[in-house]
Amino acid sequence: MNEIDRRNFLVMSSAGAAALGLGSGAAGAGEPDEKLAPVVRLHGDGLGLTPRGYAACLGQLAAKDKIEPDYYSRGGSVEKLERRMAELLGKERAVFFPTGTLANQLAVRVLAGEEGRVLLQEESHLYNDSGDCCQRLSNLPLIGLAPGKATFSLEDVQSEVERAASGRVSTPIRVIGIESPVRRLWQQVFDFEEMKRVSAFAHNEGIGMHLDGARLFLAPPYTGVSVKEYATLFDTVYISLWKYFNAGSGAILAGPDALLDEMFHTRRMFGGSLPYGWAFAAVAGHYLEGFSDRFQEAVSASEEVFKRVAKQPGFEIERVPNGTNTTRLKVAGTDAQEFRRKLAESNIDLPEPLGDGTGFKIQVNETWRSLAPDQLAEALIEARAG
C-alpha cells in the first residue's frame, strides 16, 4: 500500500481487535502482536474467531471469574445469558438451545399445541433448511407464502386462514412464523408495517406468532426499529448466539413464562440439553454487552466507505432493497482474484467473487471498526489500481 504503512496498519488492527475483545493472548490484554493481527472481514456477520482466539476469550473470562458452570444447560452462565436476553427482548423468559434449528422447531411446536398448520415465508430457513423437522418430528404441516419475497401480506395470511376453515376436515392455522432478516434474500427485512398488521390479526384470531430473529440484532441500524419493538409483535423469538455473538454454537428462545417455563423437558426429549453449555453462553454473553453500539459504529463506518468508494471509477455499490448488512460490490477493470490477493496483503479479507460474475457479496460486521473508513476505502481503491 502506498499511503498506509504496513506495520502501522497491523498495529492499528490489533488495537481495534483489543477493543472488540480479541487482543493478543487475552481479550483487550497484552501488546499488539503482528502474528495475531485480525483481518478486516468484508464477509460474515461476526468476528470469525479462530480456535486460538476463541480459547483466548474463554481464558480471559475464566481468569476474571466470569464463567459460571451450568448443569445440563441450566443455571450458571447459561441462566445469566437467558435472563439478559429476556430483558433485552422484553420477554418474561428465555431458554438456551444448542442450535437455532431446534429453537425454531420447538417454538412453533409449543405455539401450535402440537397440532394445526404453520404459515411461513417460502424463503425462510425453517421452511427450506431444517430437513422437514416440523412435519416429521412434530406433525406440523408448513405452508410457504410469498415465494421470492421477504414479506408476505395480511391478505396472504387471511386467504390461507379462510382456505383452512373451508375444508371438510378442520385444519386450522395455529402459528405464523416470520424470519427477519431473511438469509436467502441477502438479509432483507420483513416490512415492519405489514408485520404489525399480521401480528394484530393473528393475536385477534388466537394464532401464535414466532419470529426467527437469528440476525435480529443486525436490523436496527438499518430500519430504525429496536429489537424490543420487533419482539413485542411476537409470542416467541429466536436469536442466534454464533452468527454475531461469536459463540461456538447456540440459540436463545424467548417468550412468556406460560410457554417456556417447562421447555427444558422438551429440550431434553429432543436431545438438546447439553451437559455443559457455559463455553457457548459465556462467550455469547461477553459479546452481547455493548454489541448494538459497536455494530452501529461499524455500520456508520461502512456507509462512509461505500460513499468514498462509489465515487471512484470502476466501483459500484449495489444496495439490497429493504436490506441490512449485505451489499453487492462490483469492481471493473481488474482480475477478481488479484484484487482479493492485494487486499489480503493488507489484512483485508474479501470473499470469493460471486459465481455469476456480478461482483462480491460483502457484509458489515464488527471488524469494520478495526480500520478508519478513509483507510479502508483507500485500501480498496489501491487494490484495484494495482
| Domain of residue 313, residue span | 6-63+290-385
Residue 71 lies in a domain: no
- CATH code where residue 346 lies: 3.90.1150.10
The domain boundary, picked from 288, 303, 327, lies at 288
Same domain, 130 and 57: no
Residue 69 lies in a domain: no
Q: In the prediction, which pLDDT does 256 show? A: 98
- CATH code where residue 140 lies: 3.40.640.10
Q: In the prediction, which pLDDT does 12 show? A: 37
Q: In the prediction, which pLDDT does 358 show? A: 92
Same domain, 138 and 276: yes
CA angle, 245 as apex, 240 and 249 as ends, to 5°? 55
Same domain, 122 and 30: no
Residue 377 lies in a domain: yes
Same domain, 150 and 139: yes
Residue 159 lies in a domain: yes
Which is it for strands 142-145 and 117-121: parallel, antiparallel or unpaired? Answer: parallel
Specify the 3-state DSSP secondary structure of 264: helix
pTM above 0.75, yes or no: yes
Q: How far apart are CA 198 and CA 195, in angstroms?
A: 5
Nearest to 122 by CA among 39, 68, 184, 76: 184
Which residues, at least 6 apart from 359, have a Cβ–Cβ distance to it below 8 Å? 316, 318, 328, 329, 330, 331, 353
Q: In the prediction, which pLDDT does 170 show? A: 83
Same domain, 55 and 80: no
- Which positions of the chain have pLDDT values less than 50? 1-20, 22-37
The per-type count for the chain, helices as H runs and strands as E runs, is 16, 12
- For residues 184 and 123, the answer to whether their CB atoms sit within 8 Å is yes
Same domain, 337 and 251: no
Phi, psi of 2 (to 5 degrees): -80, -45
The domain boundary, picked from 259, 288, 317, lies at 288
Same domain, 113 and 155: yes
- For residues 206 and 173, the answer to whether their CB atoms sit within 8 Å is no
- pLDDT tens-digit series, residues 325-359: 999 999 999 999 999 999 999 999 999 999 999 99
Which residues, at least 6 apart from 155, have a Cβ–Cβ distance to it below 8 Å? none
The domain boundary, picked from 258, 273, 288, lies at 288
Phi, psi of 288 (to 5 degrees): -65, -40
Nearest to 208 by CA among 171, 166, 172: 172
Residue 273 lies in a domain: yes
Q: Give the C-alpha distances (Å, rounded to integers) separating 222 from 180, 188, 316.
A: 13, 10, 20
Count up the domains in the chain and report the number.
Answer: 2
- pLDDT tens-digit series, residues 76-132: 999 999 999 999 999 999 999 999 999 999 999 999 997 899 999 999 999 999 999
Residues facing residue 252 across a β-bridge: 96, 239
CA angle, 218 as apex, 285 and 319 as ends, to 5°? 155
Question: Which strand ranges, in their side-by-side order, compose the sheet holding 326-331?
Answer: 315-319, 326-331, 360-363
Residue 269 lies in a domain: yes
Which residues, at least 6 apart from 213, have a Cβ–Cβ distance to it below 8 Å? 179, 180, 227, 230, 231, 237, 238, 239
Same domain, 252 and 331: no
Specify the 3-state DSSP secondary structure of 128: helix
Cell numbers placing 223: 430500519
Same domain, 230 and 378: no
- For residues 126 and 105, the answer to whether their CB atoms sit within 8 Å is yes
Q: In the prediction, which pLDDT does 122 show? A: 98
Specify the 3-state DSSP secondary structure of 176: strand
